[in-house]
Amino acid sequence: MALTDIDVQKQIKHMMAFIEQEANEKAEEIDAKAEEEFNIEKGRLVQTQRLKIMDYYEKKEKQIEQQKKIQLSTMRNQARIAVLRARDNLILELLRDAKMRLSRIVSDVDTYQELLDKLVLQALLRLLEPVMIVRCRPQDLHLVEAAVQRAVPEFVMLCRKHSDVQVDQVAYLASGAAGGVEVYSGDQRIKVSNTLESRLNLAALEMMPEIRRALFGDNANRKFFI
């Protein structure tokens, strides 16, 4: 039985409807899959960026913490240096005060003469040259001459040798010297300094641990004491 045009039109419409439905279902399936993939990719990107952000701020936090430690260490070092500088200034002030007090020794003629006798003899025994030149302050010239006269016999007795000991009457100790003597070899290449300043500096150097302990107490970081 032949199909009429109406039947053909109906079948065509039916097929078009079926194809359209299939196309719509396929489009919905593609949309659903695309949305799923989009959500998955979006989640991955978000997670990746979140990790990057977390890593960035973690590094920043570590940098800040490191900077804090460096700043704290720098401040501690600066404070320690300031304390050490203040202590050194106090010790220098103490030594300056001690040098000023040397004038008290010089003002007592008998005490100073006795000290000069010892300083001259000690310098001669340290130098032990055939010719020795004793240099002093101009105002101490007569005291030093007397000290040399007393020191030479004792020097000979102790060393069992003779030396030509002269008191320099041309050159003197540097201006401002507190007292004492310097003894030179005949060619003036060797010198023994027994000025009051040099003796004070030597005593201060030897006693510096005791001085620091008396002023500032025991060093908490020091493990050994001699």
Res. 199 pLDDT band, cuts 50 70 90: very high
Per-range mean pLDDT, top range of 18-22, 47-51, 76-80, 181-185: 181-185
Q: How far is CA 143 from CA 44, 93, 149, in A?
A: 100, 31, 10
Residue, of 57 and 146, whose pLDDT is higher = 146
Residue 104 clears pLDDT 70, i.e. is over it:
yes
Residue, of 40 and 129, whose pLDDT is higher = 129
Give the residue extent of every domain in the chain.
1-53, 104-209
Average pLDDT over residues 195-218: 84
Res. 211 pLDDT band, cuts 50 70 90: confident
Contact between 169 and 141 (Cβ < 8 Å): yes
Residues 173-188 pLDDT 10s: 988 889 999 999 999 9
Q: Which residues pair with 184 in a beta bridge?
A: 133, 191
Average pLDDT over residues 196-211: 86
Q: How far apart are CA 145 and CA 134, in angstroms?
A: 9
Is the pTM higher than 0.85? The answer reads: no
Residue 223 clears pLDDT 70, i.e. is over it:
no
- What size, in residues, is the chain? 226
pLDDT at 222: 59
Contact between 182 and 195 (Cβ < 8 Å): yes
CB-CB neighbours of 154 under 10 Å? 14
CATH number of 104-209: 3.30.2320.30
**Residue 217 region, left (φ>0) first, then alpha (ψ -120 to 50), else beta?**
left
pLDDT at 116: 97
Res. 85 pLDDT band, cuts 50 70 90: confident
Look over the chain and give the mean of its residue pLDDT values, rounded to a whole number: 86
Hey, what amino acid is at 24?
N
| Token reading at 97 | 């005060």
Residue 3 clears pLDDT 70, i.e. is over it:
no
Q: Which residues pair with 191 in a beta bridge?
A: 184
